Amino acid sequence: MTTILEARSLSVHYQTPVGAVKALDHASFSLGEGEILGMVGHSGSGKTTAACVIGGFLEKNGRVENGEVLFRGENILFLPWRRRRRILGKGIFLIMQNSASALNPTRRVIAHVADACSSGEAIMGRKAVSKACALLERVGIGKDKQTLFPFQLSGGTKQRVLIAMALALRPAVLIADEPTAGLDAINQATVLDLFGTLKEESVASVILITHDLRVLTAIADRIAVMYRGALVETSNTADIISKPVHRHTQELVNAMKTIHGS
């Protein structure tokens, strides 16, 4: 499998009033072409920080202390902003956990996706709007909601707007941070099916970040386990569930089996 994205020995610190806090500690992982990589760990384990570094949304008080992020062999961390901006969005698309912050509150849902269609497929006007309408319906957002503003939508619906934008842009790498958090079982299944479709259509390689190991068992090819800023175990999904090695991985698997009985 060809590697499309690779993080090498990535370390990130946040500056706080009480000193530096280590969020990532020499974390290394890779993503193959057409692969879904699940990243799991407790809150504060470094999952979201890893996503933000790759996607270009690291907080101002965050600093990369060490490491590289290679996209198609090119280290993107310290590129000139214009060059990096061309890569981010169409090359790498990040769906943040706080989906509201990624959408302009003054623009309607259909406008967000139409803009993505214009950028991703070089279509304009009515053609872009028509394509946007079709993509929104594909992710389960009907015409009655397509002309609403983001603040009028639930968190789960805003997540699906961002997925529709990703479908329009057709990025090589899609990173989704807790895309199923707070969703009921039906909407959660819908979102997971969409990621499966992206893989089947070879549209994007996906990094799916969650604290819920059970979500990953249904869709991920491999799982990377984060613990206290370090990546402590990576393996194919079946091996993670059947023979976890690291103590924290064992705890996650046992907790999943206790709660869900499987």
Q: Tokens 């370090």: give the residue.
A: 230
Q: Using one digit for the tens of pLDDT, what is the confidence trace for 119-171?
A: 877 788 889 999 999 999 988 899 999 999 999 998 778 888 988 888 888 88
pLDDT at 11: 96
Please state, in angstroms and rounded to a whole number, the distance separating the CA atoms of residues 100 and 135: 19
Complete edge-to-edge strand list for the sheet that includes strand 62-71: 19-32, 3-16, 62-71, 74-75
- Cα–Cα nearest to 213, from 39, 28, 43, 48: 39
Burial annotation 64-90 (CB, 10 A radius, 16+ → b, else e): beebbbbbeeeebbeeeeeebeebbbe
Instruction: Give the tokens for residue 16.
Output: 């706080």
**Regions in the chain scoring below 70 on pLDDT:** 98-100, 182, 199-203, 260-262
pLDDT at 100: 66
How is 106-125 classified by DSSP, letter by letter?
A: TS-HHHHHHHHHHHHH---H
Instruction: Give the tokens for residue 182.
Output: 């707070």
pLDDT at 159: 81
How is the chain classified by DSSP, letter by letter?
A: --EEEEEEEEEEEEEETTEEEEEEEEEEEEEETT-EEEEE--TTSSHHHHHHHHHT---TTEEEEEEEEEETTEE-TTS-HHHHHHHBTTTEEEE-SSGGGGS-TTS-HHHHHHHHHHHHH---HHHHHHHHHHHHHHTT--HHHHTS-GGGS-HHHHHHHHHHHHHHH--SEEEEESTTTT--HHHHHHHHHHHHHHHHTT--EEEEEES-HHHHHTT-SEEEEEETTEEEEEEEHHHHHHS--SHHHHHHHHHHHHHH--
Contact 108, 149 (CB under 8 A): yes
pLDDT at 178: 83
